[in-house]
Chains A and B, each alone.
Chain A
Amino acid sequence: MYNYNEFDTAFVAERNKQFRAQVERRIAGALTEDEFKPLRLMNGLYLQLHAYMLRVAIPYGTLDSAKMRKLADIADRWDKGYGHFTTRQNIQYNWPKLSDVPDMLDALAEVEMHAIQTSGNTIRNVTADHFAGAAADEIADPRPVAELIRQWSTDHPEFQFLPRKFKIAVTGSPNDRAVIKAHDIGIQIVEEAGEIGYRIIVGGGLGRTPMIGKVLRDFVSQEDLLPYLEATVSVWNLLGRRDNKYKARIKITVHEHGIDDIRARVEERFAVIRPSFGGVDLKLFAEIKEAFAAPEYREAPVAEYETAYKHDPIFRSWADTNLAEHRAPGYAIVQISLKAHGATPGDASSEQMRVMADLAEKYGHDQIRISHEQNVILPHVHKSDLPVIHAMLKKHGLATANIGLISDIIACPGMDYCALATARSIPIAQEIATRFDELKLEHEVGDLKIKISGCINACGHHHVGHIGILGLDRAGVENYQITLGGDATENARVGDRTGPGFSADDILPAIERIVYAYLDLRSDAEETFAQTYARVGLDPFKVALYEQDKAYAAE
């Protein structure tokens, strides 16, 4: 875990002091809302439908127990006793009062956290693979480079007024769990002839114009990384469409100019600025890397785990579904589902946060991760501790065995909270999860990712869901469009629209028809939804969705 140095601490304290004064001036009437709004957004404070919302950065989704406990304390003291984890690995508080926010930021600073650049047209919180440092398939831990980018991008003077927001994600594994191809810049750590370097992907994004990122350069060496990124953002900063908000993201710039033109411009700019990077970034990177050294794994027998696995079917189901392969012998990656059937995806109560903090401290080398899929990860757990961890999680509603299954749904806050939303997302997620739990079907269905957005901005990543659901306002009524065959991995793909949307009442039966169609269509129980879709295409699902519906209506 990276710890703040004196500079970081002073910087955050200074920003908090400034914001406290800005809030005071707003309340006293010395600042208008037009003057205040950009200032509050720079500090992660939105005004939503029912209240303010404070978005707190969790850099590359990494927390320790002290940070998690502080998040719980803030939820209790200034909010309603819970927090919402987001697809940018951040946490959002839905009910703060304006006058309390400066105190909340000071409390965050006590554990080296802040809300800077979680909003506005800047480089946002850098996300990373939530299995970073633990995954068996990893070439290198993506967090040191994510931290390097965070330090470079925070308050970067050239990049405070970009054409639009800018999102960067890093994966250290060829199996992409960080959705890098749907980011403005996606970075994949690669190895060539024994040297670690970076593949740079640019121009991906979701929203109203979904695009899959394109390779800008196959290999960028460590010493070239920051100047190359700076050249890329710099080219877009000048070229990006400031005249039209909907065409301002780099995906449109890349699309309009073509990847070859952008590459030529980046290389030209890179040649100019490269000499100004004198190696301080390399020294810094070496220091940062030390802070992310692997924990000291212990060697111990795993008999307790094996006994529990053999004799306790509930534990076995949880272990089969929620554990991932760890690189160290005897260890596992624990995925804690924040998707209990019928609950709000990504929400954790302060009590649950404290339980997870305790477990991480006691059994998990004090490490916690937030995934972009809105779950919590204990990345380093010895298998012998799994039975006791599972028992504890179960006691607190955190042992739902559904990671990667149909009820492990990404859902944005939607019109239950968000001022931009055109329809609700949360109740749709709740209904789908509850229904498939009743049917006891989700383990039979297997890997199936449903992602729901409550508006075209696609915070719920619906374009890259195996089943994507987009909530719209059609003539004053909530209406839900379905896309199929999206993919968020290294084989990223934007889903295909099935046709006309469904009302809030009809969307659940529609999803059921898709799932039953898949069960009919799959070649065998091993063929996943994504594989079946790739094989048979959209048509049979369209028939199931629309023609069966008509047949029922005619009866």
Chain B
Amino acid sequence: MAREFTPKVVTANALIEGDVVYLTADDSWTRRLSEAEIITEEDYAQLRLLQAEGQPELVVGAYLADVIAGENGPEPTHFREDFRRTGPSNYNHGKQAELADV
């Protein structure tokens, strides 16, 4: 039996800055996981991933990451994705600093 599809977002790193970005429903890239498009259907996920991979001038290394739908949009299910959306734990650098007062 095929494994049940779990919700995903398309994520990648920005080409110039190298930081983490997520694909939104309106085909733009956001720095905030909460604004990412939650994908609940497998074929559509593959299509969205292909569309992301078709933008090498914007992003690098696109892949599908597991999420669950939370009150404020998608939430990571794995600690790696939690670090990616936050930044390192030893300094207030990365997303946690850059997005703090926006």
A contact residues around B93 at 8 Å (CB): 50, 80, 94-95
Is A264 part of the contact surface with B, judged by Cβ < 8 Å?
Answer: no
Q: Pick from B56, B60, B90: contact of A427, CB below 8 A.
A: B90
A480 to chain B, nearest CB (A): 14
Quick one: CB contact mask for A41-71 with B, threshold 8 Å, 1 for yes? 0000001111110000000000000000000
Is there an interface contact between A49 and B83, defined as CB atoms closer than 8 Å? Answer: yes
Say if the beta carbon of A173 comes within 8 Å of chain B.
no
With A33-B56, A51-B17 already in contact, the answer to whether A426 and B89 are too (CB < 8 A) is yes
Whether, in the assembled complex, A98 has its beta carbon less than 8 Å from a beta carbon of chain B, the answer is: yes
Whose C-beta in chain A lies nearest to the C-beta of B97? Answer: A80
* In the complex with contacts A27-B15, A52-B18, A47-B78 CB distance below 8 A: no
User: Could you tell me the distance between the alpha carbons of A378 and B66 in the complex, rounded to whole angstroms?
Assistant: 49
Q: Is the CB of A394 closer than 8 A to any CB of chain B?
A: no
Q: Which residues from chain B contact A94 at a C-beta distance below 8 Å?
A: 88, 93
B88–A417 CB distance below 8 A: yes
In the complex, whether A476 has a CB less than 8 A from a CB of chain B is: yes
A50 and B77: CB pair below 8 A? no
Asked whether B94 is an interface residue with its Cβ less than 8 Å from the other chain, the reply is: yes
Instruction: Judge if A29 is at the interface, Cβ distance under 8 Å.
Output: yes
Say yes or no: A50-B94 contact (C-beta < 8 A), given A97-B17, A98-B18.
yes
- The residue in chain A whose Cβ has the minimal distance to the Cβ of B57 is A29
The answer to whether the Cβ of A32 comes within 8 Å of any Cβ in the partner chain is yes
Q: Is B95 an interface residue (CB 8 A)?
A: yes
Interface core residue of B13, B15, B19, B20 (most chain A CB under 10 Å): B15
Partner of B94, one of A51, A415, A473: A51
B80 within 8 A of A: yes
Nearest residue (CB) in B for A53 is B18
B90–A416 touching, CB < 8 Å: yes
* Cβ contacts under 8 Å, B15 to chain A: 26-27, 98
Which residue of the partner chain A has the closest CB to B80?
A: A415
A48 in complex: contacting residue of B18, B78, B79, B80, CB < 8 Å:
B18
**Which chain A residues border B83 with CB–CB below 8 Å?**
49, 415-416, 424
A99 within 8 A of B: yes
- In the complex, whether A367 has a CB less than 8 A from a CB of chain B is no
Q: Which of B16, B79, B87, B88 contacts A477 (CB 8 A)?
A: B79
> Which A residue sits closest to B20, measured CB to CB?
A50
**A: number of interface residues (CB 8 Å):** 30
Contacts of B89 in A (CB 8 A): 416, 424, 426-427
A21 to B80, CA, bound (A): 34
A90 interfacial contact with B, CB 8 Å: no
0/1 string, B68-102, CB within 8 A of A gives 1: 00000000011110011001111101110000000
Q: Bits for B22-38, please: 1 = Cβ < 8 Å to A, else 0.
A: 00000000000000000
Is A344 positioned at the interface, with any CB of B under 8 Å from its CB? yes
Q: Does A106 contact B (CB under 8 A)?
A: no
Total chain B interface residues with beta-carbon distance under 8 A: 25
Given known A-B contacts A33-B60, A476-B77, A476-B78, A99 and B16 have beta carbons under 8 A apart = yes
Once the chains bind, are B19 and A51 in contact (CB under 8 Å)? Answer: yes
Report the Cα distance A52→B56, complex, angstroms: 16
Closest to A417 in B: B88
- Hey, which chain B residues are within 8 Å of A427, CB to CB? 89-90
Once the chains are docked, how many angstroms separate the CA of A51 from the CA of B78?
A: 20
Q: Are B84 and A476 in contact (CB under 8 A)?
A: no
**Would you call A97 and B16 a contact (CB within 8 A)?**
yes
Chain A nearest CB, measured from B9 CB (Å): 16
* Binary interface encoding of chain A residues 85-110 relative to chain B, with 1 for a CB under 8 A from any of its CBs, else 0: 00000000011111100000000000
Residues of A within 8 A of B17 (CB): 51, 97-98
Chain B residue with minimal CB distance to A46? B18
**Interface readout for A400-434 with B: 1 if CB under 8 Å, 0 if not?**
00000000000000011100000010110010000
Contacts of B56 in A (CB 8 A): 29, 32-33
Is there a chain B Cβ closer than 8 Å to A478's Cβ?
A: yes
Bound-state Cα–Cα, A50 to B87, Å: 7
Q: A415-B80, A416-B83, A477-B79 are in contact. Are A47 and B16 (CB under 8 A)?
A: no
How far apart are the CA atoms of A49 and B13 in the complex, in Å?
A: 8
Within A436-481, which residues are at the interface with B (CB < 8 Å)?
Answer: 473, 476-478
Distance in angstroms between the alpha carbons of A424 and B17 in the assembled complex: 23
- Whose C-beta in chain A lies nearest to the C-beta of B95? A50
Residue of B19, B20, B78 contacting most chain A CB atoms (<10 Å)? B19
Residue contacts A-B, CB under 8 angstroms, 23 given: A29-B57, A33-B56, A47-B13, A47-B18, A47-B60, A49-B84, A50-B19, A50-B93, A51-B13, A51-B17, A51-B94, A80-B91, A80-B93, A94-B88, A96-B18, A344-B90, A415-B80, A416-B83, A416-B88, A427-B89, A430-B90, A473-B80, A477-B79
List 17 extra interface pairs beyond A416-B88, A476-B78, CB under 8 A: A29-B56, A47-B13, A47-B61, A49-B80, A50-B20, A51-B94, A52-B18, A80-B91, A94-B93, A95-B93, A96-B18, A344-B90, A424-B83, A426-B89, A427-B90, A476-B79, A477-B79
- 3 tightest CB-CB pairs across the interface, nearest first? A416-B88, A52-B18, A51-B18
Contact surface of B with A, Cβ cutoff 8 Å: 13, 15-20, 56-57, 60-61, 77-80, 83-84, 87-91, 93-95
